[in-house]
Amino acid sequence: MKDYSSKAVHVGIPRGHAEPLGIPIYPAAAYQFDELDIAADEFQQNSGYSYIRMQNMTNKALEERLSSLEGADATVVMASGQAATMAAFLSTCKAGDHIVASSAVFGGTAGLLNNVLPNLGITSTIVDNNPEAARAAMRENTRLLWVETVSNPNGDVADLKGWADLAHEHGALFCVDNTLAGVGYLCRPFEHGADMIMHSLTKWAGGHGSALAGCIMVKHGSNIDNIPVLQDLKAQYGDQALSRKVRSIGVHQLGMTLSPFNAFMIAQGLETLELRMLKECDNALQIARFLKDHPRVKSVNYSGLETSPFHALGQKYLKNGFGAVMSFEVEDPQRFFASLKMIRMVANLGDTRTLCIHPWTTTHGRLTEAGKQAAGVTPYLIRMTVGVESLQDIIADLEGAL
Ligand SMILES: *Cc1c(COP(=O)(O)O)cnc(C)c1O
């Protein structure tokens, strides 16, 4: 199987007589050993099945499916996107190390960088969303660069190759939060130099908005000579040290393991990701054009519009569409939300339903005014994640609310 659509529905499902045609849910907390040597080896290597926190058959099937869709060598699923982000930070940095991140990152990511990591002695610099701004922030102890392929709320597209080159020039690693690009469907950051990819699987991977999950993906072969926290595992595992570290920190030690029930839910969602994204991207482009021409809309942010400052980067890095997220400014957000009939006010992304939110007072409400400005959030801004409903119904609802 070469193609996305085939892998999405086949990888992870066992083959053979009387095997189930689906991914079974294994809730068992532990696995049996039949020989003492095997048990001892398992506890030394932590490579197979012993206890649910370490590995689980449902989670493993999901990891295989995710790796095949994103072109990863290893995937570690975790209980949430936040858990995965924290595991990525702690797998590459220790006290005294430094991270450079784009200002166009998810609020929870900024929260970890600003409020949690400093207590562990890990510092960070948040810069404008371009590699030149990042270059000025690089230090000798910078170990990790972090961006989002497509950012929220404004759908800015990152210059992935530029960030990757900068990281590698300095012996640092480059991690991309690829959530808004939908598990390798719109963009495959490993092809542009990423060393690690993070996903909130709660969003497009699931699609149903009914299961919390996240993952870190790794491509083996990254240069990790300059990453102190990886040196012990490098001696033992060579270029698999990074993926080993992510699994060790994320699930073995911190226990941020994904529930097998949620793993099943995400695996089901992946089977229709392509179909959902196709419709959502198609809807989104038509809606962005409708909003751009609407007299009551002050501005629209969507890289699919030729007038967008991110159009060229979108064309370079995004295939199959420009994504399902956009933002726009209205005259009176209060009245806009009060007048919506079908579209719901919800903070999630990547749902099958079209959802709108007011970032100024909700998702970005805790930021300072300067922080909101840096994230491109104004009091008039509406963020929208476009769903799979009919284009006519979505536009009629927006028209009425405007
Ligand atoms: C939702 C989200 C996260 C956090 O993921 P959770 O699954 O909610 O913990 C991280 N990054 C992006 C871009 C997100 O949309």
Q: What is the pLDDT of residues 192-236, one digit of tens each?
A: 999 999 999 999 999 999 999 999 999 999 999 999 999 999 999
| pLDDT reported for residue 371 | 82
Whether 283 has a pLDDT exceeding 90, the answer reads: yes
**Whole-structure pTM value:** 0.97
Mean of pLDDT values over 158-166: 98
Is the C-beta atom of 111 inside 6 A of ligand 1?
Answer: no
Spacing, Cα 150 to ligand 1 middle (Å): 13
Distance CA 72, CA 134 (A): 26
pLDDT digits (tens, 9 = 90+) for 182-195: 999 999 999 999 99
Whether 328 has a pLDDT exceeding 80, the answer reads: yes
| pLDDT reported for residue 367 | 83
DSSP H/E element including 196: strand 196-200
Mean of pLDDT values over 236-260: 96
Distance CA 141, CA 227 (A): 9
Looking at the CA of residue 151, tell me the nearest atom of ligand 1: 13
Distance CA 89, CA 198 (A): 11
Whether residue 220 contacts residue 62, with contact meaning beta carbons closer than 8 Å, is answered with: no
The model's confidence at residue 156, banded by pLDDT at 50, 70 and 90, is very high
Spacing, Cα 231 to ligand 1 middle (Å): 29
Q: Which residues contact 359 (CB under 8 A, 6 or more apart)?
A: 153, 327, 365, 372, 375, 377, 381, 383
Across the chain, mean pLDDT equals 96
Domains of the chain with bracketed CATH? 4-269 (3.40.640.10), 274-401 (3.90.1150.10)
Is the C-beta atom of 148 inside 6 A of ligand 1?
Answer: yes
Residue 106 has which token pair? 């998810």
Phi, psi at residue 329, to the nearest 5°?
Answer: -105, 130
Best of 80, 103, 105, 179 for a ligand 1 pocket test (most atoms within 8 Å of beta carbon): 179
Distance CA 276, CA 211 (A): 17
Distance CA 234, CA 231 (A): 5
Looking at the CA of residue 105, tell me the nearest atom of ligand 1: 13
pLDDT digits (tens, 9 = 90+) for 331-346: 999 999 999 999 999 9
Distance CA 358, CA 364 (A): 9
Pick 396 or 1 by higher pLDDT.
396
Distance CA 225, CA 202 (A): 34
Spacing, Cα 180 to ligand 1 middle (Å): 9
**In terms of Cα–Cα distance, which of 151, 387, 150, 394 is closest to 276?**
387
Is the C-beta atom of 124 inside 6 A of ligand 1?
Answer: no
Which residue's alpha carbon is at the smallest distance from atom 6 of ligand 1?
81
DSSP H/E element including 300: strand 297-301
Phi, psi at residue 126, to the nearest 5°?
Answer: -100, 125
DSSP letter assigned to residue 176 = E
Is the C-beta atom of 214 inside 6 A of ligand 1?
Answer: yes
Looking at the CA of residue 201, tell me the nearest atom of ligand 1: 7
Whole-number Cα distances in Å, 380 to 192, 298, 299: 35, 9, 10
Residue 184 has which token pair? 């390798």
**In terms of Cα–Cα distance, which of 69, 8, 325 is closest to 197?**
69
